[in-house]
Amino acid sequence: MARKTSAGGRTDHTILLQYGFDVKVRRKHPAVKDRINAVNRMLQDAAGNRRLFIDPKCKNLIDCLTKQQYKEKSQIPDKDSGYDHMNDALGYGVEYLFPVTKQAPEHKGPFGSIEPKLYGHF
């Protein structure tokens, strides 16, 4: 979310805080692919588990999720189609609450196998 707005010099964050919202943001934007992976994983992970369900009344979000495409021969979402805004909003929230963490490779040292540690941004 932008930290600035044209509303009299107040930031988006201060406006939301003024109206009682609890604003949670990272110091740095997550990578686009991390947001996409977080949403995709919540919709259905590799084991077939689903943890994110979209209400059928959310027709615009469903439209955006089903119609957004990547730019030709790339892994960059097409921002010209108009389907990106709702997906971006969903992606920031899902990635913040349920980030995709990377599992470090198992390390075998002189004392045998050590449990793999999770690392990522929390």
In angstroms, rounded to a whole number, what is the distance separating the alpha carbons of residues 113 and 106? 7
* pLDDT digits 0-9 by tens, 27-84: 899 999 999 999 999 999 999 999 999 999 999 999 999 999 999 998 889 999 999 9
Per-residue pLDDT, 115: 52
- Residue 84 CB partners (closer than 8 Å, separation 6+): 64, 68, 77, 78
Q: Which residues of 47-68 are buried (b: 16+ CB within 10 A; e: fewer)?
A: eeeeeeeeeeeeeeeeebbeeb
**Confidence band, pLDDT 50/70/90 cuts, at residue 87:** very high
